[in-house]
Structure 1
Amino acid sequence: MDVAKITEIRAREPERIGASWARRARRPLLAEDGNLLLVAADHPARGALGVRADQRAMSSRVDLLDRLATALSRPGVDGVLGTPDILDDLLLMGALEHKVAVGSMNRGGLQGASFEMDDRFTAYTPEALAAQGLDGGKTLTRICLGDPATVATLEATAAAVTALAERNLMAMIEPFWSVRDGDRMRNLLDPDSTILSMSVAAGLGASSAHTWLKVPVVDELERVMAATTLPTLLLGGDPTGDPDETYASWGDALALPPVRGLVVGRALLYPHDGDVAAAVDIASELVHGKPSTR
């Protein structure tokens, strides 16, 4: 489906979006091997359009949707993480049939804003996720001891985790220990800071039964992963180095319990050589093994 058709449906028949969510073919959350490979596409809603040195790489929605459709068509890709605008587009394109769909919930802490740590829940709600038949909700939970807005974000995240657990939906928390560096927030990616962020995130909400963590690949990852029993997905991020080294680091990390897969956006959608399908296939093999074993 071309973009003009999507816009036509949105303008003339917006009710088709809700009807399409209601009849979408779903699948179990986990693949048979118990692992997940999700493609992330929630960056634009935070005003974060950059990939490596190109600060406008994700500015074309047509191009982004084409890359997402390619990624989701590859075997071994379990689903996608995104905001309502992107997931509704993919739904109308037919790209979410038999796929896991996780909705991104708090996008109010815009990149570079003075209020960045006041990360309001401005996208999906637990009620909407359940009503539309999505498989879970994701929160970005940055913890800055020097910014009083952190506590409001923690409180809102805890409420979201509780509400998602009540609906038997995955609550995916992406925690970071953060500091303000001049006018910008900076996430600390050392092992001890990552452990601190995971420890705080794990205790949010009235139930941890459906809580998953999403964490970056950092040094001393074996020690970091020993800090939790929660199922954990690795954050692909926006690596700037040798892609082969990045893939190797993912492979090593995937061998550690309780790691259950990858959530990768820019590294797969905008690979150095431009070949989305090839990059996705490498990640899929790392998560699920060679296609013949699936």
Structure 2
Amino acid sequence: MPEPTIAAEPAAGGLPPESYAALREARAADPDAIARALDARRSRQLLRGDRRLFIVAADHPARGALGVRDDDFAMADRYRLLDRLAIALRHPGVDGVLGTPDVIEDLALLGLLDDKIVVGSMNRGGLRGAAFEMDDRYTGYDVPTMVRSRLDFGKLLVRVNLEDRATAPTLQATAEAVGQAAAARLPIMLEPFMSSWRDGRIVNDLSAEAVITSMAIASGLGTSSAYSWLKLPVVPEMERVMAASTLPTLLLGGDPRERPDETYASWADALELPGVHGLVVGRTLLYPPDGDVHRAIDTAARLVHPGGLA
């Protein structure tokens, strides 16, 4: 069977065919290699140097969200995704990666997680476009597994739809996850939105008022907020938004495809606000319009770490 194109012709900084061959062999013949790779991973301090974090997100496929801009299946080729993640993780300004177990374990087997913050994505059950999308069950990582696998951070999505009853059990499950993380002293990243159904799909309200309301709800979930962080979109009036919480915050970057300079400028401004510790961006940097992954990653890394490396 021929190798995938991305493995046969790896991009600069990508992976050679033998890396993928070894990955497939380990998954088929030695699945315990995953636990050994995670256990042997060289970890790092969460905050160091300038105390900022640049995390690359790769948890979209598990929700069935494979599209980027006009390509509905841009992320469907796992080898291309891994190659782009390899380019990102080898950049010294990238502090870590966020993913579901399948992605994180591929990266561990490929030896790409040393000295990186590893963030486990937890609730992926609210599949994009599904009638049950607001029933966002915890179908990915759980706290005991993240602790056992020596992950550094958990991440969950908190979409609040006041007109959908499925929000209530999702909030309850989220509160339990936050409490478990606090008990395990595992930092956990909450990504809150006020959401609604519109023409058969879920739409997030990106007004400052809605973001502030979602923050208030998310911040109070669980038996302790000691290890809770927020992951927030960059919206107008970010000063008001950041005044609404004392929790440490990472920014969710938007899509800079239309006015990239304006988007990057908004990121830079928001990164200077009190309480903001960095940026979490995925598809828009891994699949940039011009195809230059390294340049896109480098641009974001310089925004997060303007004084040099972390």
Q: What is the TM-score of this pair, normalised by structure 1?
A: 0.97
Deviations 1:240-290 (A, max 9, x none): 312222111100110111111000001210112111111111111111114
1:162 counterpart = 2:162: no
1:215 counterpart = 2:232: yes
> Could you tell me how far apart the structure 1 residues matched to 2:99 and 2:79 are?
15
The amino acid of 1:90's aligned partner reads L
> Could you tell me how far apart the structure 1 residues matched to 2:21 and 2:66 are?
22
Contact persistence 2:37–2:111 (CA under 8 A): no
What is the deviation of 1:182? 2.2
Q: Among 35, 44, 51, which residue is 1:18 paired with?
A: 35
Contact persistence 1:49–1:57 (CA under 8 A): yes
What is the deviation of 1:237? 3.5
Regions of 4+ moved over 6 Å: none
Q: What is aligned with 1:74?
A: 91
Other structure's SS at 1:256 match: coil
Q: What is aligned with 1:98?
A: 115
Q: What is aligned with 1:191?
A: 208
1:174 counterpart = 2:191: yes
Contact persistence 1:237–1:266 (CA under 8 A): no
What is the deviation of 1:7? 1.2
Contact persistence 1:52–1:239 (CA under 8 A): no
> Could you tell me how far apart the structure 1 residues matched to 2:251 and 2:83 are?
24
Deviations 1:68-127 (A, max 9, x none): 000000011100000000000001111001100000000000000000000000010100
> Could you tell me how far apart the structure 2 residues matched to 1:210 and 1:8 are?
38
> Could you tell me how far apart the structure 2 residues matched to 1:181 and 1:2 are?
44
Q: Which moved more, 1:281-290 or 1:169-178?
A: 281-290
Q: What is aligned with 1:144?
A: 161
Q: What is aligned with 1:44?
A: 61
> Could you tell me how far apart the structure 2 residues matched to 1:282 and 1:239 are?
12
Q: What is aligned with 1:118?
A: 135
The amino acid of 1:176's aligned partner reads F
> Could you tell me how far apart the structure 2 residues matched to 1:35 and 1:285 are?
11
Q: Among 264, 267, 271, which residue is 1:247 paired with?
A: 264
Other structure's SS at 1:114 match: coil
> Structure 1, unaligned stretches of length 5 or more?
none
Contact persistence 1:222–1:256 (CA under 8 A): yes
- The sequence identity of aligned pairs, in percent, is 58
What is the deviation of 1:55? 1.1
> Structure 2, unaligned stretches of length 5 or more?
1-17
RMSD, aligned CA: 1.1
The amino acid of 1:4's aligned partner reads A
Q: What is aligned with 1:32?
A: 49
Deviations 1:13-65 (A, max 9, x none): 00010111111110001131111000000000000011112111111100000
Q: Which moved more, 1:40-49 or 1:280-289?
A: 280-289
Q: What is aligned with 1:203?
A: 220
> Could you tell me how far apart the structure 2 residues matched to 1:290 and 1:259 are?
16
> Could you tell me how far apart the structure 2 residues matched to 1:214 and 1:130 are?
21
Aligned residues: 293
Contact persistence 2:191–2:231 (CA under 8 A): yes
> Could you tell me how far apart the structure 1 residues matched to 2:64 and 2:117 are?
25
1:134 counterpart = 2:160: no
Contact persistence 2:219–2:225 (CA under 8 A): yes
